[in-house]
Amino acid sequence: MGKQGRRRMGSYALFLIALFLCKFLAVAILDPLDFLALQSIRKSLHDLPGSNFFASWDFTSDPCNFAGVYCDSDKVIALNLGDPRAGSPGLTGRIDPAIGKLSALAELSIVPGRIYGSLPQSVSQLKDLRFLAISRNFISGDIPATLGQLRSLKTLDLSYNQLTGEIPRSIGTLPELTNVILCHNHLSGSVPPFLSQVLTRVDLKHNALTGSLAPDSLPPSLQSVSLAWNQLTGPVDRLLSRLDQLNYLDLSLNQFTGPIPSQLFSFPITNLQLERNLFTGSVQPADQVTISTVDLSHNRLWGQISPMFSTVQNLYLNNNRFTGQVPASFVDRLLSGSIQILYLQHNYLTGIEIKPTAEIPVSSSLCLQYNCMVPPVQTPCPLKAGNEKTRPTAQCNEWKG
């Protein structure tokens, strides 16, 4: 071999040594506690069939280059476990308590999969944690009350799991909280008061929550509230009157009572779901309602239907105790196609000024069945409305009396 060849071989050897040192130093640069914590986390979790998320987790290389691991200097600051692409198989196994050793962790998320077992108490040691999202898995047990120690937490999403027990009151004391998403679990007990003045979203639907809501239990910063499919009771008019930033409200399928505040209809809401409760009283918005969908069905509301609702695109007032004539403005907007759904069935309405020959647009649905009048037009109604076209005269007379 000539001198040039030997020189080339020597350079290649130096390159290999440098590469080895780089790899060694890269491994060594991560904080040892973080390194060991990642090893424990890896041992307790596995790819579901079809997933290869952990393929890059080779501990002879730099953990900061692993899929889902993000570092700042020698510390892990974010851990996003599982392939984030929609429809990916996800992970299975348990969350190892060693996760609490990642002392600089600010973000923890796990994609939908089959993670089971409880949420480790050690998560409460992550004092810098701002984002915690473990949704659509099989996490069970109680929500640790010690999560109230995470004073920097902004988003808590443990939705679509198997969680039981009460929502810890300590969660409500977190000062930076902006999103609380605990829907589709088996949580019971009352809704704790939330003190954060930057809270924008609360989603607790599909649980087994009970009790009433105090007038100051939710902050006026809220933009989206869903408490549907629970067993909540009591009046909410004083509470709702304060939430003037709302753009989405769903309180359906509870047992709320009392009046619906008129100012609610002037808030910037796009979807208002108050159906299947025990709300009572007259509903009289001060101005034309610009909410696209309003569902007040299956309550105990009474009085005349306000013409202010004629600007609503999808209006459900069925199964209440409304009386009198349907305002003419409803007919005009229905025939022009501005109203897409107008459900007025199962009330005590006495008339509507619409010609039997009127052509209702195909895109619009009108149901007048089972009122104190013979419907002047025959329109298809939901199957749940039943077959009877008109309410019995005795019931109408009794309601008048």
Tell me the torsion sign for CA atoms 165, 169, 170, 173.
positive
SS3 assignment, position 387: coil
Please classify residue 262 by burial: count the beta carbons closer than 10 Å to its beta carbon, then call 0-12 exposed, 13-18 middle and 19+ buried: middle
In a domain, 359, yes or no: yes
Give the pLDDT confidence score for residue 123 in this predicted structure.
98
In a domain, 41, yes or no: no
In a domain, 310, yes or no: yes
Q: What is the pLDDT of residues 167-210, one digit of tens each?
A: 999 999 999 999 999 999 999 999 999 999 999 999 999 999 99
Host domain of residue 317: 258-400
Q: What's the DSSP call for residue 371? A: B
CB 105 within 8 A of CB 76: yes
SS3 assignment, position 36: helix
Is residue 364's pLDDT more than 50?
yes
Percentages helix, strand, coil for the chain, rounded to the nearest 5?
Answer: 25, 25, 50
CATH at residue 352: 3.80.10.10
How would residue 356 be classed by pLDDT, with cut points 50, 70 and 90?
confident
Give the pLDDT confidence score for residue 378 in this predicted structure.
87
Number of domains in the chain: 1
Is residue 18's pLDDT more than 80?
no
Find the helix or strand (DSSP H, E) in which 72 lies: strand 69-72
Give the pLDDT confidence score for residue 1 in this predicted structure.
52
In a domain, 188, yes or no: no
SS3 assignment, position 399: helix
In a domain, 302, yes or no: yes
The pTM of this model reads: 0.90
Cα(230)–Cα(102) distance, integer angstroms: 36
Q: What is the pLDDT of residues 56-104, one digit of tens each?
A: 999 999 999 999 999 999 999 999 999 998 888 999 999 999 999 999 9
Q: What is the pLDDT of residues 104-135, one digit of tens each?
A: 999 999 999 999 999 999 999 999 999 999 99
Is residue 385's pLDDT more than 60?
yes
Q: For residues 5 and 34, which has the higher predicted lDDT (pLDDT)?
A: 34
Give the pLDDT confidence score for residue 56 in this predicted structure.
95
In a domain, 290, yes or no: yes
Q: What's the DSSP call for residue 265? A: G
Cα(176)–Cα(308) distance, integer angstroms: 39
In a domain, 344, yes or no: yes
Find the helix or strand (DSSP H, E) in which 115 lies: strand 114-118
